[in-house]
Structure 1
Amino acid sequence: MERLGYTPMPWQRYIWDVALEINPETGVFWHRTVGLSVPRQQGKTQLLLAVKVHRAQAYKRQRIIYAAQNRSMARERWEDEFWATIEVSRLARRFVIRKANGHEAIIARSTRSRIGITSNTETAGHGPPLDLGVMDELFAHIDDRLEQAFSPAMLTRPMAQLWWASAGGTEKSVPLNKKREQGRALIEELWRTGVHTRTAYFEWFAPEDMPRDDPATWRAALPALGHTVTEDVIRAELETLDPAEFDRAYLNRTRKAAPPPDPNIPRSTWPGVVDKASKPVPGSVALALDVSQDRQRAAIAAASLLPDGRVHLEVVAHRPGTDWVVPAMARLHRLWQPVAVAVASAGAPAGSLIDDLIAAGIDVPKDKAKPQRGDLAVMRSGDITEACGQLADAMRQGTLVHLDQVPLTAAVTGARTRRNGDAWTLDRTKSLVDISPLCAATFARWALVIRGPHVIEDYDIADSFA
């Protein structure tokens, strides 16, 4: 890379150190597949060029193929970036270029290895065996056709490697999103077992709960920051780009289509009731739980009456599965001594946990007219409809506050409703995301408002509707 005229950055050295490891028992590369997901303008192109040039010079008669969004883009980058870099570098005498359409090749004089291009089609990479395949800008690929064409051509080449690289894409970037999901799963498995697979995966990105305007977020997601990119430049991009595009380009997040608004949920008011410094008040906390329709995730939320009459909403936990919910709620019940614990009745997904909650010591009221602190509040259909309307009113009137937690804000944004008589209720089936955090928060607020007057001294129910 230095001979090509660039100074390698630490993150690039790290990738080469791992991706090009040699298995001492066999003398060939340990990793057959290398995946790289990194934000834009971080030096990905130079990193990939160095890999291709290294392969072309180090081994004889290598067939190296590069692919981008399409053949036209691959040709443009191959000629205007790859060859333009080699041509003015210290390696210029070691290579010659052949530009004939359909037979493009940058040829290493001493090894006769060739760096060519291909189109993004089912027949790409067909022909002679392939030693190094590079799939760039994977966010623009619509399916796995290129990988399916490359892989068989590498079958008889012991030193073969398939590299893919891309910045974040959109929900339509199916191959990229699948690769990122698989890569993260591989890393999790590596941490659990210590077993290294034949795939090396690298990713720099900022999770959704990291604020886009915080330089600490940029430092976590941008490996070239402080080398070829400055904070001032990123700050300028933040000021001019659409937030979703900034997230995709520089935080490597998947850009998602903005969902159409549900008329019953005043989500435009949600940012106006954020108070990240808000905290629940001991003694005036209600808890609630909810389970997603597919039972893949569950949530526990808290509502608390603040001194100024507003209601604090907070997601306490939002995790996969349901086995953790009752033990967690039992522990919170002991710690917080809540006003009540709310759960939807047997017709809802969380209804199946009612018996377990009772067995854990969270009892139903012995006298419905005189509930005790900590009793279970089993919500019927009418209660849930009432709770939904109350939450929407509180959002419009500014009588609630929240911490802008990602699970809850995402649920507010993606929630959908359905009619229930002349009113409406939250609809788990039609919602675009898991809304269990929103349901739990809605139920917790309802429990606070309904049960609070019975168990909290000096509780003024009018404060919750001020």
Structure 2
Amino acid sequence: MTSQHGVRLGAQTPRVGRWPDYVSSAGAEVIELAESAGLILDPWQQFVLTHGLGEQRDGRWSAFKVSCWVPRQNGKGGIIEARELGGLFLLGEQLILHSAHEYKTAQEGFLRIKGLIEGTPDLDRRVNRYWQANGEQGVELTRAAGGGRLRFIARSKGSGRGFSGDCNILDEGQELTGAQMAALLPTMSARPNPQLWFFGTPPDDPAAWAYGLREDGEAGTPRMAHFDWGADLDLTNPEDRRRALVDRDLWYACNPALGRRITEDFVTDEAKPSGLGDRFAVERLGVWPPRAADGPSVLDLAAWEALADPESRRTGAVAFAIDITPSRDWACITVYGLRTDGLGHAEVIDRRPGTDWLVERLVQLTERWRPVAIGLDLKGPAGSLLVDLEKAGIVRPDDPDRPARGQLAIPGAQDVAAACGQLADAVTQGTLRHIGQDVLTEAIRGAKTRPLGDAWGWGRRISSVDISPLVAVTLARWAYETRAHLVTTDYDPLANIF
């Protein structure tokens, strides 16, 4: 471990450090600028900036993505502030977008950078305005100073979709979703020299999108710099969990600010049962919990495409289902029923941005087609619509054994697993057809699965695309199969136009 004046200090280099080759670095100038604003960076913070701001011969960044993972309170905010100061006042970036999972985190970042600039007259005179309104804060330079902007937002539905930033700072990166990244990345594609910075701590969700980022970083993916101070421990191993609590060398290896901003006595208290308890290894040592497995292979795309029949039509009873993306920027309604030859028919009948249209549309469909059931997964994003659906007359059955048409079919965890397995079997066995819709094909192409006990379910957050059409088709099929034989068959529409 590093020592200074006889005081033991935490490791100033990470356990995992990967970065692409570069011929020069803007790090030294950014570090010097930060120092002029009173922000004195630790060696480890300078290390990340130096390698993260490496430049190729043509002047472009050698790393498009920079990923930094370090336990809380070690000082990652200092790296963020230095990078933002550099982008505004040194690198000529026109838009820097700083986002966090929570509003209070984004607001704190704004207040800290504002304080640094206001406390440095040479920088403050270049500012045209600071603003803080409507859940957003920012800094805008004068036209003479380049007119660059730094915006702070909390990530939510649509946040960042319309911004084409030169640099995006993604704080609380453990909370990022695949849908959010899908909204963000295309906005940077037209920028001449963009850069993404990720900062975070290990996620609570074992299926979090950040696991894929970490996998790329540890593999040394081209155009990516990755720094992780977290310990390489297996939380399922009792010996590793015991070691985390007692190995002080490990404490210093994982916390670069230990001996500076964090004291050993404080960490000792955290290691006690009355401290962080079982969370000590994750929170203080940055240990990543086991990742949720991808489960069995996703649906075979070739098998799915072989079942396409553009002329397919169902007849008789139907079931509907709805699903919403985790970011709530898209939603869809699907239908499932049988054809005259007895094969199943699956179809997406409505898909639009947002969620405000869903209830009204579902009411219209229910009144017209009197479905045997409407599938709704309460544990998924669409579960939030339950109250609105019930107010609109789409309710749960009083007696599950005697449901009526147009009522909700709500699966439990075992039902979700069964529904996914049954759809996979139907595709393998060729017992259903679809009309070849691109939204379903793309969902199947990018879908991944998550464990559900000994079975599996679709993994919304870890999939690389919007899989709500696939989730809803799976649920519609399950709703039909579990309800069609329980309701009366006194209604048999022949049309298939929704």
TM-score (norm 1): 0.49
Q: Which has the larger radius of gyration?
A: 1
TM-score (norm 2): 0.46
